[in-house]
Amino acid sequence: MATNGYGRLIKDGLWNNNQALVALLGLCPLLAVTNSAVNGLGLGLATLVVITLSNATVSLIRNWVRPEVRLPVFVLVIASFVTAVELSMNAWFYELYKILGIFIPLIVTNCAIIGRAEAFASKNPLGRSLVDGLAMGIGFTLVLTVLGAVREIIGLGTIFAQADLMFGDIASGLKVSLSEDFKGMLLAILPPGAFIGLGFMISIKNIIDKRLASSRKAAAATAAEPEPTAV
In the window 141-170, what residues touch other proteins (CB under 8 A)?
A: none
Residues 13-43 as b/e (b if ≥16 CB within 10 A, e otherwise) read: bbbebbbbbbbebbbebbbbbbbbbbbbbbb
| Nearest CA among 184, 165, 188 for reference residue 175 | 165
Give whichever of 148 and 193 is closer to other proteins, judged by the CB atom. Answer: 193
Give whichever of 92 and 182 is closer to other proteins, judged by the CB atom. Answer: 182
Binding of residue 190 to other proteins (CB under 8 A)? yes
Binding of residue 202 to other proteins (CB under 8 A)? no
Give whichever of 95 and 209 is closer to other proteins, judged by the CB atom. Answer: 209
Binding of residue 174 to other proteins (CB under 8 A)? no
Binding of residue 196 to other proteins (CB under 8 A)? yes
One of 28, 76, 186, 218 touching other proteins (CB under 8 A)? 186
Cβ neighbourhood burial of 137 (10 Å; 0-12, 13-18, 19+): buried
Cβ neighbourhood burial of 71 (10 Å; 0-12, 13-18, 19+): middle
Give whichever of 5 and 199 is closer to other proteins, judged by the CB atom. Answer: 199
CA distance 177 to 168: 19
Binding of residue 201 to other proteins (CB under 8 A)? no
Contact (CB, 8 A) for 30 and 143: yes
Least distance (Å) from other proteins to the CB of residue 193?
9
Interaction site with other proteins (CB under 8 A)? 185-187, 190, 196
